[in-house]
Chain A
Amino acid sequence: MNTLKPSKQNIKTYLPAGIFLIVFSFLDVIINSFFQINLVGFFPGIISYFFPLIIGFIGLYLIRVEFSGIRSLDILNKNINSNNFNAVLTLLTIFIIVKSISPLINWFFLEANFIGNSKEDCTGDGACWVFIKVWFRRLIYGMYPDPEQWRINIAFLSLFTLVGITFFAPAKIKKYFILFLIFVYPFIGIKLIGGGNFGLTYVETAAWGGLSLTFIISAFAIIFCFPIGVFLALGRRSDLPAIKYISIGFIELWRGVPLITVLFMASVMFPMFLPDGTFIDKLIRVLFAITMFEAAYMAEVVRGGLQALPKGQYEAARSLGMGYWRMNFLIILPQALKLVIPGIANTLLALVKDTPLIFVVGLMELAGMIRLAKTNPNWLGMAMEGYVFAGLVFWIICYAMSRYSQNLEKRLSTER
């Protein structure tokens, strides 16, 4: 029995045999999955079904030579082929991936329809991308009137240009660009999109929608919730009881309520408390609600960072004659915020992904527009395409944010 066990003595015969069996098992699965040809169809049903698994398993057994002296083989054995159980898991994982790639490619590309203008043009079994194509403008701009859409384009194009310039600006003037971007530009952008003066037609916020609304809401909420969250975090750790308990109350109130309820209150209940004749735009009420909601979460994330700092940092700052604000803004917050970048990114990603909830007040961003489009009588049954598209777009936005936060973390690191 011992002579049959793979070892350095019989590696010359076992290794090629093992590799052959593994390659054959992969080939079988790949051909089966992409060309629907069963190489081993002559076997009875169940054996032919499990055939690749069995020969792959034997192959992996044959190449499991301890200390073979071949580096790549040793790494392979150690990581994915250390015993029979792991070998089976490895094979199953690879087979499942191979098996699922082909239907996905088919659905997304090979059997999908790209050309046409109506549902009837979608004849294939795959996705009907015509749906996205036809509705594209609506998905991006919502109900914003077609002839005015250049305003949204200009607003976002100039935003991206400004961000680009800021990124490459020399360090000396960089901070002015950043301040402009955060405190001035958002209002210019909103004026441009909203219109009303400067010869721009007024477009009511109820018509705003689609991906551009996702961006607008996310950007405003992020800009406002961050400083509010920081002040709430400081407030919760304050020595002054009034400030401390107001902060705690605020945080616990907003954190304890589901966002959907908050939005509902903001749009339905809130106007009832206003004196007659006063009117606050729905979008502003929604922005306020989301900002406060996320600020409460942000506050707790930041507080986590504040608590992680050693007491010595506070003492050193105070011993140098710094007061409360200088100590916090020069010493404590820069360190605390750096510590909690992953938590901040988490909260902001959640914020972006929470924006679809604004459907409860009748505003429709990207996911909302898709909900609307799929219920159009001419386009029934397009939910899959729509939500896959929305998912992809959200994933791209969130992944970009996530990468940026990782990049920021690395750039700010002062360890060695």
Chain B
Amino acid sequence: MGKIIELKKVNKWFDKFQVLKDIDLDVAPQEKIVICGPSGSGKSTLIRCINRLEEHQEGNIIVDGTELAENTKNIEKIRAEVGMVFQQFNLFPHLSILENCTLAPIWVKKLPKKEAEDIAMKNLTRVQIDDQALKFPGQLSGGQQQRAAIARALCMEPKIMLFDEPTSALDPEMIKEVLDVMVDLAKGGMTMIVVTHEMGFAKEVADYMIFMDEGKIVERAKTKEFFENPKSDRTKLFLSQIL
């Protein structure tokens, strides 16, 4: 099977501090990967490198056949293919939910407005906030905002979706509505890389689990094996603390 994302010996430093150490990672189309680990272990940095919100200093990152490097001209094209959902939603507060969803398709993909709006409404219906389309982000609950953010990313019809702790900033009763949307998305065949502490979600959808600590991938295993029979002691300790 082909690879849609390929990371080879990726190293990254923030000044002198090394956040990523020799990261190797392959993702095949339609695979779902959940990354977990203690805070400060480099999980977020890793997925932010995949759409180059962060720059890596050594190694290769190849996304959908294009290598990300200093001189990559069509980085915007790659980003348009890789959807990202943030911990803090990052909706655009000066635009309505519908405009949030249509802005990038109209200006980046050059879709006609009508078509962009149809796609937006389809995706808003999919995350079940089509009735909030004309409201502004500030008027929605946290869970609704995060679902709107997912819809906004989906409107670019990406090949890959990255989730950076999508439920960490939410009230407990809103986590489920967001996870439901993500499960639905996973079942639809989307390639997903998710950084999360929601182990129930991981067990349900992930093909592979990755455990990171201190900038390294400590363990990479099939989901069932990861939870039932973790190999490294560090993983066992982490799982015993959060399960």
A interface residue numbers (CB < 8 A to B): 310, 312-313, 315-323, 326, 330-331, 334-335, 338, 412, 414-416
**Measured between alpha carbons, how far is A317 from B77 in the docked complex, in Å?**
13
**Measured between alpha carbons, how far is A319 from B63 in the docked complex, in Å?**
14
Name which of B88-96, B112-120, B175-183 contacts chain A: B88-96
Among candidates A316, A319, A338, residue contacting B91 with C-beta atoms closer than 8 Å: A316
**Measured between alpha carbons, how far is A330 from B88 in the docked complex, in Å?**
20
Residues of B within 8 A of A317 (CB): 92
Q: Which of B51, B79, B136 has the most CB of A within 10 A?
A: B79
Q: A414-B136, A415-B138 are in contact. Are A326 and B107 (CB under 8 A)?
A: yes
Q: A414-B138, A416-B138, A416-B139 are in contact. Are A320 and B108 (CB under 8 A)?
A: yes
Among candidates B93, B108, B136, residue contacting A321 with C-beta atoms closer than 8 Å: B108
Among candidates A312, A313, A321, A331, residue contacting B156 with C-beta atoms closer than 8 Å: A321
Shortest beta-carbon distance, B89 to chain A, in Å? 8
Shortest beta-carbon distance, A171 to chain B, in Å? 14
Residues of B within 8 A of A310 (CB): 88, 90
Check if A319 sits within 8 Å of B79, measured CB to CB.
yes
Shortest beta-carbon distance, B132 to chain A, in Å? 14
Residues of B within 8 A of A414 (CB): 93-94, 136, 138
Interface string of B82-100 (1 = CB under 8 A from A): 1110101011111000000
Check if B90 sits within 8 Å of A312, measured CB to CB.
yes
Check if B91 sits within 8 Å of A322, measured CB to CB.
no
Residues of A within 8 A of B153 (CB): 319-320
Check if B79 sits within 8 Å of A318, measured CB to CB.
yes
Residues of A within 8 A of B136 (CB): 414-415
Check if B94 sits within 8 Å of A321, measured CB to CB.
no
Q: A313-B92, A316-B92, A331-B92 are in contact. Are A322 and B108 (CB under 8 A)?
A: yes
The answer to whether B53 has its CB under 8 Å from any CB of chain A is yes
Contacts A318-B53, A319-B53, A319-B83 known; 19 new A-B pairs at CB < 8 A = A310-B88, A315-B53, A319-B79, A319-B82, A319-B153, A320-B79, A320-B103, A321-B104, A321-B108, A321-B109, A322-B108, A330-B107, A331-B103, A412-B94, A414-B93, A414-B94, A414-B136, A414-B138, A416-B138
Shortest beta-carbon distance, B148 to chain A, in Å? 12
**Measured between alpha carbons, how far is A66 from B90 in the docked complex, in Å?**
52
Q: Which residue of A lies closest to B93 (CB)?
A: A414
**Measured between alpha carbons, how far is A335 from B90 in the docked complex, in Å?**
13
Shortest beta-carbon distance, A396 to chain B, in Å? 32
Q: A321-B76, A323-B76 are in contact. Are A316 and B90 (CB under 8 A)?
A: yes
Q: Which residue of B lies closest to A323 (CB)?
A: B76
Check if B152 sits within 8 Å of A320, measured CB to CB.
yes
**Measured between alpha carbons, how far is A318 from B80 in the docked complex, in Å?**
9
Residues of B within 8 A of A323 (CB): 76
Q: Which of B81, B92, B139 has the most CB of A within 10 A?
A: B92
Shortest beta-carbon distance, B130 to chain A, in Å? 20
Residues of B within 8 A of A334 (CB): 94
**Measured between alpha carbons, how far is A326 from B80 in the docked complex, in Å?**
13
Shortest beta-carbon distance, B93 to chain A, in Å? 6
Q: A330-B103, A416-B138, A416-B139 are in contact. Are A316 and B86 (CB under 8 A)?
A: yes
Check if A319 sits within 8 Å of B84, measured CB to CB.
yes
Check if B93 sits within 8 Å of A320, measured CB to CB.
no
Q: Which of B83, B93, B109 has the most CB of A within 10 A?
A: B93
Among candidates A318, A322, A338, A412, residue contacting B107 with C-beta atoms closer than 8 Å: A322
Check if B156 sits within 8 Å of A320, measured CB to CB.
yes
Q: A312-B90, A316-B92 are in contact. Are A322 and B76 (CB under 8 A)?
A: yes
Residues of A within 8 A of B83 (CB): 319
Residues of A within 8 A of B156 (CB): 320-321
Q: List 16 A-B pairs, Cβ < 8 Å.
A: A310-B90, A312-B90, A316-B84, A319-B79, A319-B86, A320-B79, A321-B104, A321-B108, A321-B109, A322-B108, A326-B107, A335-B92, A335-B93, A414-B93, A414-B138, A415-B136
Q: A331-B92, A414-B138 are in contact. Are A320 and B86 (CB under 8 A)?
A: no
Q: Which residue of A lies closest to B108 (CB)?
A: A321
**Measured between alpha carbons, how far is A314 from B241 in the docked complex, in Å?**
35
Check if B80 sits within 8 Å of A315, measured CB to CB.
no
Shortest beta-carbon distance, A316 to chain B, in Å? 4
Residues of B within 8 A of A412 (CB): 94
Shortest beta-carbon distance, A410 to chain B, in Å? 14
**Measured between alpha carbons, how far is A227 from B139 in the docked complex, in Å?**
32
**Measured between alpha carbons, how far is A338 from B94 in the docked complex, in Å?**
9
Residues of B within 8 A of A315 (CB): 53, 84, 86, 90
Shortest beta-carbon distance, A221 to chain B, in Å? 28
Check if B86 sits within 8 Å of A321, measured CB to CB.
no
**Measured between alpha carbons, how far is A255 from B87 in the docked complex, in Å?**
40
Residues of B within 8 A of A331 (CB): 92, 103
Residues of A within 8 A of B93 (CB): 335, 414
Shortest beta-carbon distance, A273 to chain B, in Å? 42
Check if A321 sits within 8 Å of B77, measured CB to CB.
yes
**Measured between alpha carbons, how far is A334 from B153 in the docked complex, in Å?**
21
Check if B90 sits within 8 Å of A313, measured CB to CB.
yes
**Measured between alpha carbons, how far is A320 from B109 in the docked complex, in Å?**
10
Q: Which residue of A lies closest to B81 (CB)?
A: A321
Check if B94 sits within 8 Å of A320, measured CB to CB.
no
Residues of A within 8 A of B152 (CB): 320
Check if B84 sits within 8 Å of A326, measured CB to CB.
no
Check if A312 sits within 8 Å of B104, measured CB to CB.
no
Please provide the 5 A-B residue pairs with the shortest distance between their CB atoms, ordered closest to farther: A321-B80, A316-B90, A320-B104, A312-B90, A319-B84
